[in-house]
Amino acid sequence: MTTLPVVAAVDGSDDSQCALEWALTAARQRAATLRVAHVRQRAPGLPAADAPEPAADPVLDEVRGQLAGRDGLPLLEYVSLQGAPAVVLPELGITAQLMVLGSRGRGGFASLLLGSNSLAAARDAACPVVVVPRPGREVHEGPSVPPGPRVVVGLHVDSPAEATLAFAFAEADRRGALLHVISAYPWTPLEVWPAPGEAVPAAVDEDAVEEEIRTLAAGLLAVHRERHPGVRVELSTPPGRAAGHLVAASGGAELVVVGRHRRRLLAPARMIGSVTQAVLLHAASPIAVIPSAAEPERTDG
């Protein structure tokens, strides 16, 4: 069986350099070829048929120079393409097992937390996409977990994403890392004032809600734990917004894994859910965005 390559999207920026280093490790762990790709923006309004053939690509030449002579590299191949990066990058995911890119490229505003090309790849690529943020993002202190390498994954017990859990377990297994599963639940206790003569409704027991979430989550994790018996799992079931807990847990983590979106039967096209978007914008660690096993095709155009 042919092993699909890992794709590293580069553009000469510091962000893409960080992504390249992450992709080198990912390709070695998977015994896969690393396909280093640079997409050069075509002049606006110029049809593809009229675009000139690309000459030497200085961005790829720089990467070749950086990697020359380094030991322990995976098999490398270099691809120079022309077009709109937001369109070309997702297309590269069709023949890849993983795509890695920086959170921002050379264009755009310095204040942007996430570039448009990174967002497009995370939203549209057929393969999992890892977005590597620039160093220095700060997050609030997360939950107490055992020391050592750690992969974080979000689990929504009402609509579990099996592909997301499978990726997270496999990644933790490759890295010999603890898998920290966060299954948050909304909790906003309300004061109820019954009308005269009405019975007072029974109070909702938060401990019972949490125990039910924990039981459901443990059942959903069981099949993956059987496939990866060597992976240590820490399950957290905190109240509140999932995005905040995932971002807080990203501090010191090697990777945060999220699904692309919660599945919606009538969704017309691929989309990024609000939790995933918040994690992409604010997490301190690299973020893996995983498409579901069956997503609707794009209906653009």
**CATH number, residue 240:** 3.40.50.12370
Task: Tell me, yes or no, whether 87 and 129 share the same domain.
Answer: yes
Tell me what pLDDT residue 41 has.
Answer: 80
Work out the mean pLDDT of the chain and round it to a whole number.
Answer: 84
pLDDT at 169: 98
Looking at residue 197, its pLDDT comes to: 64
Helices (H), the chain: 14-30, 58-67, 85-92, 116-124, 162-175, 206-227, 242-249, 274-282
- 195 lies in a domain? no
* pLDDT above 50: residue 13: yes
The pLDDT value recorded for residue 187 is 65
% of the chain at pLDDT higher than 70: 79
Among residues 108, 140, 104, 37, the alpha carbon closest in space to that of 280 is found at 104
How does pLDDT run across 238-278, given as a tens digit for each residue? 999 999 999 999 999 999 999 987 555 555 456 788 899 99
Q: What is the pLDDT of residue 168?
A: 98
In this structure, is residue 198 part of a structural domain?
no
The pLDDT-based confidence of 136 (bands split at 50, 70, 90) is confident
124 and 12 within one domain: yes
Note whether 245 and 127 are same-domain residues: no
Residue 153 lies in a domain: yes
Report whether 281 contacts 248 (CB < 8 A): no
Q: What is the mean pLDDT of residues 82-99?
A: 94
Distance CA 88, CA 74 (A): 24
Question: What is the span of the domain harbouring residue 280?
Answer: 136-190+203-301
Q: Per-residue confidence at 299, pLDDT binned at 50, 70, 90?
A: very low
CA-to-CA distance for 23 and 63, rounded, in angstroms?
13
Q: Tell me: the pLDDT tens digits for 29-60?
A: 999 999 999 999 865 555 544 444 556 899 99
* Lowest-pLDDT range of 128-142, 194-208, 214-228, 238-252: 194-208
- Max CA pair span of the chain: 83
pLDDT of residue 269: 53
Residues 77 and 18 in one domain: yes
* Whether residue 149 is found in the same domain as residue 270: yes
Based on the fold, state whether residues 175 and 293 are members of the same structural domain: yes
Q: What is the pLDDT of residue 88?
A: 95
Residue 300 pLDDT > 60: no
Are residues 64 and 92 located together in one domain of the fold?
yes
> Is 161 domain-assigned?
yes
User: What count of residues does the chain have?
Assistant: 301
Assess whether 123 and 210 both reside in one domain.
no
Pair 104, 150 in one domain: no
CA distance 269 to 260: 12
Same domain, 161 and 211: yes
Higher pLDDT, 161 or 110: 161
